[in-house]
Amino acid sequence: MEKIKCFGFDMDYTLAVYKSPEYESLGFELTVERLVSIGYPQELLSFVYDPTFPTRGLVYDTMYGNLLKVDAYGNILVCCHGFNFLRGPEIRERYPNKFIQRDDTERFYILNTLFNLPETYLFACLGDFFSNCDRYTSCESGFKNGDLFMSYQSMFQDVRDAVDWVHFKGTLKQKTVENLEKYVVRDGKLSLLLSRMNEVAKVFLATNSDYKYTEKIMTYLFDFPHGPKPGTSHRPWQSYFDLILVDARKPLFFGEGTVLRQVDTITGRLKIGTYTGPLQHGIVYSGGSSDIVCDLLGAKGKDIVYIGDHIFGDILKSKKRQGWRTFLVIPELAQELHVWTDKSSGGLSPSSCCVCSQWVWGRQKDNACCRSGS
């Protein structure tokens, strides 16, 4: 660690930890409302988010509408349709070799972020609903209602569009900032952590969120009467960072990136033109790329540790394209260990045990495969 010159942070689910299941429940409800508004059955409004079901890293098969748990090589460990966990012979009917091509991104969608948890559960809810509702007839690749046919591929795209709409055009961010205490964890030790890091290295923030949302969230996280330690003066959140980047558009950020612009922190608007000057402390930038970060901070790839929650967008791309050192935040790991302990001691209901054991068994087998193949 003594060789590290820069520490980089994502914001969402890294510096800003969203309270679970409150935040996921909000995203789930808003996504369901969006689907109903574009024509999906009103019965969907009765769906209630169950945080014990979804786990990060599952794969959705857009051809058959199944949720899959696969290992590092594409071998299927667990398969469910709706809330029905399929057994070996049933799995082989759809996947004869119990194997998928994970790089077939047109068919298989990896739900690899914590933001994906609500839609993971929604895929299961929709599969269960359309399989059991008398108005619909299940088919291999979708369902029918009279002369109308809906493929799982179309349903998947509707859900993805609804999720994007909720995040970028809907009220998710508005409802979050209206009730920050309900949805965001605030830890007084955060300022101490960043100030200590800043004593030995440069610290930067690179988030996909826009400036106005970032400003609200970060102001709340540092809203304490004191500074890094009790008795020290309060400092604005910007003072803890040498470089602040919003609208990063990761993983594009780790490749060609976008134009680097300066944010007017009074109006929240972008100033016209490309920023070409030196690094200035306290200025907020929009866009850019990892190459620009290295240039502004005077660092090379291996001088940087980037800390984030997105397996693909934060960790893999930054490591493979830039050689950045990486640190993956896995907040759900503590809950998974707690669930497994409760299951082992008989603290969960039989139905919950079934769901948990299916997913956890898949993860254990996945880890075993990774170890044996390393």
Over residues 242-299, the pLDDT tens digits come to: 999 999 999 999 989 999 999 999 999 999 999 999 999 989 999 999 999 999 999 9
Tell whether 216 is covered by a domain. Answer: yes
In this prediction, residue 347 carries a pLDDT of 59
Determine contact, residues 158/38, Cβ cutoff 8 Å: yes
Dist CA 185 CA 287 (whole Å): 27
Q: For residue 10, indicate whether it is catalytic.
A: yes
Which residue is catalytic, options 10, 61, 314, 366? 10
**H helices of the chain, where?**
22-37, 88-94, 117-132, 152-168, 172-178, 180-183, 190-200, 211-221, 290-297, 317-322, 332-344, 350-373
Dist CA 244 CA 8 (whole Å): 10
Q: Tell me, yes or no, whether 261 and 305 share the same domain.
A: yes
In this prediction, residue 317 carries a pLDDT of 64
Residue at a domain's end among 178, 213, 247: 178
CATH number of the structural domain spanning residue 196 = 3.40.50.1000
Q: Tell me, yes or no, whether 268 and 234 share the same domain.
A: yes
In this prediction, residue 322 carries a pLDDT of 78
Tell whether 344 is covered by a domain. Answer: no
For residue 339, name the pLDDT band (cuts at 50, 70, 90).
confident
Q: Tell me, yes or no, whether 278 and 320 share the same domain.
A: yes
In this prediction, residue 319 carries a pLDDT of 73
The DSSP letter of residue 106 is T
CA-based R_g, the chain, Å:
22
For residue 71, name the pLDDT band (cuts at 50, 70, 90).
very high
The closest of 2, 285, 364 to 372, measured between CA atoms, is: 364
Q: Tell me, yes or no, whether 59 and 190 share the same domain.
A: no
Q: Tell me, yes or no, whether 170 and 194 share the same domain.
A: no
Tell whether 361 is covered by a domain. Answer: no
Q: Tell me, yes or no, whether 189 and 97 share the same domain.
A: no
10 known ligand binder: yes
Determine contact, residues 182/22, Cβ cutoff 8 Å: yes
Q: Tell me, yes or no, whether 11 and 77 share the same domain.
A: no
- Per-residue pLDDT at 352 exceeds 60: no
Q: What is the mean pLDDT of the chain?
A: 91
Domain count, the chain: 2
Q: Tell me, yes or no, whether 195 and 171 share the same domain.
A: no
Residue at a domain's end among 126, 157, 178: 178
pTM: 0.87
| Residues β-bridged to residue 16 | 12
Residue at a domain's end among 306, 328, 350: 328
210 known ligand binder: no
Tell whether 78 is covered by a domain. Answer: yes
Tell whether 278 is covered by a domain. Answer: yes
**What is the domain extent for residue 257?**
6-17+184-328
For residue 110, name the pLDDT band (cuts at 50, 70, 90).
very high
Q: For residue 12, indicate whether it is catalytic.
A: yes
Tell whether 340 is covered by a domain. Answer: no
- Per-residue pLDDT at 369 exceeds 50: no
Q: Tell me, yes or no, whether 162 and 77 share the same domain.
A: yes
Q: Rounded mean pLDDT of 230-246?
A: 97
Tell whether 215 is covered by a domain. Answer: yes
Q: Rounded mean pLDDT of 348-366?
A: 51
Out of 99-103, 164-168, 322-326, which region has the weakest mean confidence (pLDDT)? Answer: 322-326
Tell whether 334 is covered by a domain. Answer: no
- Per-residue pLDDT at 106 exceeds 70: yes
In this prediction, residue 372 carries a pLDDT of 38
Out of 126-140, 169-183, 306-320, which region has the weakest mean confidence (pLDDT)? Answer: 306-320
Query: In which residue are the tokens 């619909």 written?
Result: 136
- Per-residue pLDDT at 55 exceeds 70: yes
147 known ligand binder: no
Q: Tell me, yes or no, whether 197 and 297 share the same domain.
A: yes
Q: Tell me, yes or no, whether 29 and 122 share the same domain.
A: yes
- Per-residue pLDDT at 365 exceeds 80: no
What share of the chain in percent tops pLDDT 90?
79
Q: Tell me, yes or no, whether 34 and 140 share the same domain.
A: yes
In this prediction, residue 321 carries a pLDDT of 73
242 token code pair: 């040498």
